[in-house]
Amino acid sequence: MADTTESESRKLLVRLREAMAGDDAGQARLDKITHLIADSMGTEVCSVYLFRDEETLELCATQGLNRESVHQTRMRIGEGLVGRVAKYGKVVNTPDAPNAKGFRYMPETGEERFSSFLGVPVQRLGEMLGVLVVQSKEGREFSADAVYALEVVAMVIAEMTELGAFVGEGAALSPLHQQPVLIHGTSAQEGAAEGHVWLHEPRVIVTNPIADDPQRELERMNSAVEELRVGVDKMLEVSRNGDKDQLQVLEAYRMFANSKGWMRRMEEDIARGLSAEAAVEKEQSQARAR
């Protein structure tokens, strides 16, 4: 991967961090981010769509589309190109959006002027949060480097959404995981019980998704992966004469821990400007989506 491309990606992430470090409200932060992305990627449009409920996406910020359409334009999951990205968790990259399969014209946005469309999912550990889109008048298919760079930015937006950086008015900008949840169960025995609820997999919050020193982040990641490999090897040694199914699970863990492709992708993520924790989570999120 070219050093110049990596440098531009890091520059964009640094600009994003500066924009998010201010005291702006959630809406103002989103507005700044769309402007920075469009400027850095040389596109006329950048838009952020977030879920307002499980089935509905809402345009929450845009640079280039009609401002009046913000918080007014909504679509169902699977509807239009944006809805396709959200439904399948896959990138949509087309030089001729109006004639692409599934395109839906939204007259209030003024998007008929733009031919090229690149949409990437904003997701975190398998949970779909929204869609990040760039568009341009010129009919072109975005390069693999451009797609990769936008995926890295989407990862940062996902983490900042989890941290509550974009909380504002309206359902789409409401805080995540802070609403009451009702779970219906079946009673096995009449009576009352009291106890603790333990999450099978606790949520890990990445408080700093952008790397200050990529070389230092590489060292931290390599150290953590080596510790992981040693730990898995020790568990395998202890389990050699135990349950065969458990042994197969641990062997699968060792295979992942020693995967060269996994390491290479995380190293590329860090070179692009992500911290070690964010690089791990990005690859984990994409693996779950696949």
- Condensed to tens digits (0 to 9), the pLDDT of residues 88-102 reads 999 999 999 988 888
Average pLDDT of the chain, as a whole number: 83
pLDDT tens for residues 100-155? 888 888 888 877 778 999 999 998 877 889 999 999 999 889 988 888 888 888 88
Candidate from 155-159, 169-173, 263-267 with smallest mean pLDDT: 169-173
- Cβ neighbours, 10 Å, residue 172: 21
CA angle at 36 for the pair 33 and 39, rounded to the nearest 5°: 150
Where are the CATH 3.30.450.40 domain residues in the chain? 3-173
pLDDT at 1: 42
Contacts of 40 (CB under 8 A, 6+ apart): 8, 11, 12, 15
Q: What is the helix (H) or strand (E) element at residue 47, kind and residue range? A: strand 45-53
Give pairs for 252-257: CB < 8 Å, separation 24+.
254/229, 257/225, 257/228, 257/229, 257/232
- pTM here is 0.73
Task: Please write the tens of the pLDDT for every residue from 176-220.
Answer: 655 566 667 777 777 777 877 776 666 667 777 888 788 999 999
Alpha carbons 282 and 151: distance in angstroms, whole number:
9
What tokens appear for 153 in the block?
């930015």
**CATH no., domain 3-173:** 3.30.450.40
Name residue, tokens 């480097």: 145
In the structure encoding, which two tokens stand for residue 155, read together? Answer: 């990862």
